[in-house]
Amino acid sequence: MRILVTGHTGYIGSRLVPMLLAEGHDVTGLDTDLFRRCTFTGQLADVPHIEKDVRDATRDDVEGFDAVLHLAALSNDPLGDYNPGLTEAINEVASIRLAKLAKEAGVERFVFASSCSNYGAAGSDFMTEDAPLAPITPYGVSKAAVERALSKLADESFSPVYLRASTAYGVSPRIRFDLVLNNLTAWAFTTGQVRLKSDGSPWRPVVHVEDIARAYIASLRAPREAIHNRAFNVGTTSENYQIRELAEIVAEVVPGCEVTLAPDAAPDQRCYRVDCGLIAMTLPHFKPQWTARRGAVELYETYKEVGLTMEDFEGERFKRIAHVKRLVEDGELDASLRWVRSRAA
């Protein structure tokens, strides 16, 4: 299958592309490569790519593909809050436009990287895909809006599918340290403290980045009638945890550390648990391999191997919002987050 992956150099994309290649797919990437200086470990797969902001995509860019896997987005809440208008422009308006271009070009399958953050402050009840969407952040609002818009485009020739990923974790060449398990393990390794930034009570479903990639692959293998205009919670129902439970797992994995509260720890409104029964029943090729505990071990071992420091994950190199702000201040990105200088080595 000939596949276009937008956001192929990002946290999920850099793990997904090698797995797609191993499946025998013909992969092309499209990405502005905003975090080109943020490779943490390993190397990115060398595939044909279009270096372009998704807002500037054209019909020619999507012509001739069997499927588009659309991951490109501003992908965390601090970036979303930095300029909510940009989040709307990139995550929502550009995504809908890309889907329309893909449909016009005859692309049959459009797999959208949605999120379980769509459920917002849902509490401790298990959310199925039929639950009402009530996002409380610009990021979540944008994802829910795209799902609604793509649903209106669905017809006999164009099949969108919405993969609502649980909170991701795990090692990737373009790792994100703002994700809860990655962050807790980083604090534990570098300081001896599993540092909670909330009271630890909110619920989160979590899923390894590699298992998210498996969901994309399964959505490509599935017959059209199984995925057409449907949403799937991506993860495993048993992998729902309160934040303090994740902290306790990390404390058991990383030697000599203790769970502590950050001085500014405050209640977190984002609280939801999800039921992942539908994807298990509908997409039999989706077989998650990871648990939070195994993921914490992977993270700890990788942090040791790399020699992670607190300056790395809290500083401008790997902290996404700080990195973007620095690029803007240095005049390398303009206010719209487009590159204004030639690509740096």
Paired strand residues for 233 = 164
pLDDT at 344: 43
82 confidence band (pLDDT: 50, 70, 90):
confident
Q: What is the number of structural domains in the chain?
A: 1
**What's the chain's average pLDDT?**
93
Q: Is position 338 within any domain?
A: no
Q: Model's pTM, two decimal places?
A: 0.95
Helix, coil or strand: residue 90: helix
Q: Is position 340 within any domain?
A: no
Beta-carbon-side half-sphere exposure of residue 256 (alpha carbons within 13 Å): 4
42 confidence band (pLDDT: 50, 70, 90):
very high
Q: Is position 301 within any domain?
A: yes
**Residues 88-101: tens digit of each pLDDT:** 999 999 999 999 99
Q: Is position 12 within any domain?
A: yes
d(CA 86, CA 30): 19
d(CA 118, CA 88): 15
CATH number for the domain spanning 65: value is 3.40.50.720
Pairs from 264-268 (Cβ < 8 Å, separation ≥ 24): 264/197, 265/196, 265/197, 265/198, 265/199, 266/197, 266/198, 266/199, 267/198, 267/199, 267/201, 268/197, 268/198, 268/199, 268/202, 268/243
Parent domain of 274: 2-176+206-241+268-305
**Residues 4-34: tens digit of each pLDDT:** 999 999 999 999 999 999 999 999 999 999 9
- The Cα angle at residue 239 between residues 233 and 240, in degrees rounded to 5: 80
Q: Is position 322 within any domain?
A: no
Q: Is the pLDDT assigned to residue 312 strictly greater than 70?
A: yes
Q: Is position 188 within any domain?
A: no
User: By mean pLDDT, which of 27-31, 76-80, 147-151 is the weakest?
Assistant: 76-80
**Residues 279-289: tens digit of each pLDDT:** 999 999 999 99
